[in-house]
Structure 1
Amino acid sequence: MKSLAATLVGLIAPVQAGLRFPCSTLTIQRLDPVVEPGNIPSAHVHHIVGGNAFNATMEGDVGERATCTTCQMSEDFSNYWTAHLYFKHPTNGSYHRVPVLPVQPLLGGSQGAQGGLTVYYTQFDLTRDNLGKQKITSFPPGFRMTVGTPTEPGKPRVGLRYQCLQGQNRGRELDDFPTGPCSGGIFTTHHFPACWDGKNLDSPDHQSHMYNTVTRDGFLNAGPCPSSHPIRMPQVAFETVWDTTKFNSMWPSGGKNPFVWSFEGTGGGTHADYMFGWKGDSLQRAMDKSECFYDGCGSIQKQQMAVANRCAIKETVVEQTDGCKFSLESMRERKVLTLWQGW
């Protein structure tokens, strides 16, 4: 299985446009305005990037409310987040937050990003059959969606992939965590569906208003949008590098994988959230362009990452999120993560 970057290289064509850019970390907190709006704190810790309008309850036009963004594209005030990765100490059971490294972009360096992730918006579901056949419609204000779920890890995980970094070599794509230490860290990809029902900005499960044309692999074999979800939207994906290297010496040879997500779940429960927040029609202008692979598409202003890195929000949930001990009560019954007292 090729990585997303490698797949895209093979698909560069005059009719295809795409954005690829870094976003530094905005905050690491237990907040989730999509799945748990208004809950302070939310059930588990998230790694969040993007605009500074992020808070426990987000409605309406996020792009109009934000005043800065940690993303390189200065008109992108969207928010992107995943559960945070932890190392579970094999001796005392404590949980230690895994640091985040900037993804090395396909073209050029990391542009000075601090932690964060790399975001993709492509015009097509990465299949030659669809190139140039359907207009791409930008997300409307207030739109949000999720991919994956922490509560049903046994379901198909299309588009959710792990790779074991050995230096800069990403290796093959995996459905779950690597089974041995990775000298360069663990690389994760979250690939969102791209077909919209044209009506709902959200749905009760935060996924039903979208349809994934990919049936098996995350970045291949995409089909046309069905009549139930006829609107082709930008293909959103993001990648994260988790710097697991300092924990490798504590992973015994042949031992059980010591890494878990912040909901104390294993690889199959990985998930991600997206909340649209581009300013005005900036994303639509980019998607209307061609021959602008991986740049601003001639219409989007970039900012220096030194400027993006100054964007920040206050801590809403003030608590220790490293070196802690978690007690997982029944996720099936309560769907909450209770923290042991005394951490």
Structure 2
Amino acid sequence: MGRNTRKRRSSMAGKAIAASAALALGGGGLIWANFYASAHESHDSWGNRTKAAAAQVATISCPDVGQQLTDVPGRARTEVDGELANLDRQITDAYQRLATTRDAQARDASFVQNSILQPLKDRRAAIIDRIQLEINRVGGNAPDRLDDLAGCTASPADQPQSTGGQNNGGQNDGGQQQGGQNNGGQNNGQNNGGQAGNGPSANDFVDITKVQPNVPAKPRKMRNASTGTFTTRCGVNANGNHNTDNVIVAPGVKNGAHHLHDYVGNQSNDAFANNDTFAAAETTCQNQQDKSSYYWPVLRVQDGTQDFDQNNDGGGKEGNVGKILLAKQAQITFVGNPTSKVVAMPAFLRIITGDAKAFTNGPGNANAHWSCTGFENKVQLTDKYPICPQGSSVVRTFAFQSCWDGKNIDSANHRTHVAFADRNGRCQNGFKAIPQLTMRLVYDVPAPVISNGQVKNAYAVDGFPEQLHKAITDHDDFINVMSGNLNNKIANCINRGQKCQ
């Protein structure tokens, strides 16, 4: 949150394994994800892969402690969030040491364990102890066996390790089967490719014209369905509003995301923003009542060029290199539910969809959707980047959780207050249907070229360095900063079956 032994493939057709992210054709000519199912039901290929014993270590997999913390008292959250950010920083530091000690690893088979993993485990154990103390100090009850999450593993690039913490998002796992096996493509002893040496690699790409259709039909609409849509226009971040913070997960921590975000809507989102900051901010949205923050990791093309953050934390210092691509379209639409009316979203609701650590965490909370224009209603990829034919553009699509617990605008692990509907579109466990945020980002991307197991002009999303820029780590973030009138207008519009903006 292993895989098959690496094998050389002679053609892209041999690598074309379709990852199944269910998307369906929505109104207004847009392509939207299957809003009514969990992001993932299962991912059999993860559990069935075996380790390649001879492969060189390429990344570090650590249990995601934050996803286990489903009940942190409010008085402890600031301290706990800060300690979780320290855990992320430790993993980044350990990965960087892993990447810069290849010679020592080749000379000493025990180097990784003794010089990287064991010190990392000791440092993580100290932070986990502090997290437990903070929770218990204010009357909370830290989870049992949290100490068991201190140890990490080192793995070849094609072997993400399931380390616990999956499926803690409150989602109902009624979604689709997930394929998308990685089929090798690196030689033992080589790094994982990419302009910075940490991906992506040739086997992270697939020719979309060679992938079989995998998009199922949408759920059947019931009599009480809410069929309207509300579109907000907030631009594509043409003004270059970027930072490497993540105020939801790591408030008060600079570079808490360890990768760069595009921001549209609210213009005051950084590590130190709060609800008052958001409410007083300017917005890029045409509707000035929408000061919501919509943000996602930037997409880069690794063509040898450098961007402004080449020497910055979260940028080139952490393996996020290449030219930042500006989306040519960023379509933001709220849609309804096939079985029920929706209730208005609460002010300052926070939702994260997808998992920035899905390569090492496993796919439990992953929610990545990749396709090309002209293929969106036929093929959606989860853990591959598409190579689009000439004249076709790359598309990233996000469908956020659409069920809310009716009480909380956030939760300790930033997931359990919202959930996906089941495969029929129903919210479970007393959750209420809310307008579902859907986003569609379209990019003109130079087509990568695969030759002799190598990729030229690769493109990839920014991410934590140990995630190796895998497609499955794509994610999106939302903070609802709309007026009460606008929140009600959106719900009423959707419930009445209207198309509004």
The TM-score range, normalised by the shorter chain, is 0.5 to 0.7
Alpha-carbon distance between aligned partners in 2 of 1:182 and 1:170, rounded to the nearest angstrom = 16
1:152 alignment partner in structure 2: 358
- Name the CA shift for 1:204/1:233 in 2 (closer, same or farther; >3 Å): same
Q: What residue is the counterpart of 2:384 in the other structure?
A: 177
> CA separation of 1:76/1:236 partners in 2, compared to 1, >3 Å: closer, same or farther?
same
**Runs of 5+ in structure 2 lacking a partner?**
1-22, 34-217, 307-318
The amino acid that maps onto 2:431 is: P
Summarize the alignment of residues 298-317 of structure 1 with structure 2, pairs less than 5 Å apart: none
State how far apart, in whole Å, the 2-side matches of 1:170 and 1:200 are. 34
**By how many angstroms is 1:60 displaced?**
2.7
The sequence identity of aligned pairs, in percent, is 19
Higher helix share: 2
Amino acid at match of 2:372: C
Q: Residues 174-323 of structure 1: matches in 2 within 5 Å?
A: 174-183=381-390, 184-214=392-422, 221-227=423-429, 229-245=430-446, 248=447, 251-253=449-451, 255-256=454-455, 258-263=458-463, 264-289=468-493, 290=495, 293-296=498-501
Change (3 A) 1:195 1:172: same
Shift of residue 165, structure 1, vs aligned partner: 3.2
Q: What value does the CA root-mean-square deviation take over the aligned residues?
A: 3.2
Q: Secondary structure at the match of 1:41?
A: coil
Q: Distance in 2 between matches of 1:155 and 1:140?
A: 29
Quote the residue 1:100 is aligned against. 326
Separation (CA, whole Å) in 2 of partners of 1:149 and 1:169 = 22
AA partner of residue 142 (structure 1): F
Q: How many residues align?
A: 263
Q: Is the 8 A contact 1:18 1:293 kept in 2?
A: yes
> Aligned in 2, Cα 1:200/1:2: closer, same or farther, shift over 3 Å?
closer
Q: How does 1:78-97 map to 2 (within 5 A)?
A: 78-89=292-303, 95-97=321-323
8 Å contact 1:185–1:243 — kept in the other structure? Answer: yes
Q: TM-score, normalised by structure 2?
A: 0.47
**CA distance in structure 1 between the partners assigned to 2:326 and 2:25 by the alignment:** 19
Partner residue in 2 for 1:47: 262
Structure 2 distance, partners of 1:52, 1:222, is 37
In the TM superposition, what is the alpha-carbon distance from 1:281 to its structure 2 partner?
Answer: 2.3
1:86 match: secondary structure: strand
Over residues 202-242 of structure 1, what are the superposed CA-to-partner deviations in whole Å (9 max), with x where a residue is unaligned?
Answer: 1122111111114xxxxxx3431112x42221111111113
Distance 1:234 1:173 in 2: 23
Does the 8 Å contact 2:226/2:497 carry over to 1? no
Q: Which has the higher contact order (CA 8 A, sep 6+)?
A: 1
1:75, 1:91 → 2: CA distance? 39
The structure-2 alpha-carbon separation of the partners of 1:98 and 1:226, relative to structure 1 and needing over 3 Å to count, comes to same
Which whole-Å CA distance do the structure 2 matches of 1:140 and 1:91 have between them? 43
Deviation sequence 1:58-94 (CA, Å, 0-9, x none): 333566312x321233311000111111223489998
Given that 1:60 and 1:141 are in contact with CA atoms closer than 8 Å, whether structure 2 keeps it comes out as no
2:266–2:284 Cα contact (<8 Å) kept? yes
Distance 1:277 1:88 in 2: 35
Report which of the two has the higher share of strand. Answer: 1
TM-aligned CA deviation for residue 159 of structure 1:
4.6
- Cα deviation for residue 243 of structure 1 reads 2.5
- TM-score norm. by structure 1 comes to 0.66
Q: Tell me if the contact between 1:62 and 1:141 (Cα under 8 Å) persists in the aligned partners.
A: no
Give, in whole Å, the separation in 1 of the partners of 2:482 and 2:386. Answer: 39
What CA distance in whole angstroms lies between the structure 2 residues aligned with 1:188 and 1:157?
Answer: 17
Query: What residue ranges of structure 1 are gaps of 5+ in the alignment?
Result: 104-116, 215-220, 297-343
Q: State the SS of the aligned residue for 1:284.
A: helix
- Out of 207, 210, 232, the position equivalent to 1:21 is 232
Hey, what's the Cα distance between the residues in 2 that align with 1:69 and 1:33?
A: 17
Contact 1:88 1:94 in 2 (8 A): no
Any idea what SS the aligned residue of 2:259 has?
A: coil
Q: Which amino acid aligns with 1:223?
A: G
**Contact 2:366–2:472 under 8 Å retained in 1:** no
> Is 1:57 the counterpart of 2:258 in the alignment?
no
1:180 maps to a residue whose letter is I
The amino acid across from 2:418 in the alignment is M
CA distance in 1 between counterparts of 2:262 and 2:355 reads 16
Q: In 2 relative to 1, CA 291–195 (structure 1 residues): closer, same or farther, beyond 3 Å?
A: closer
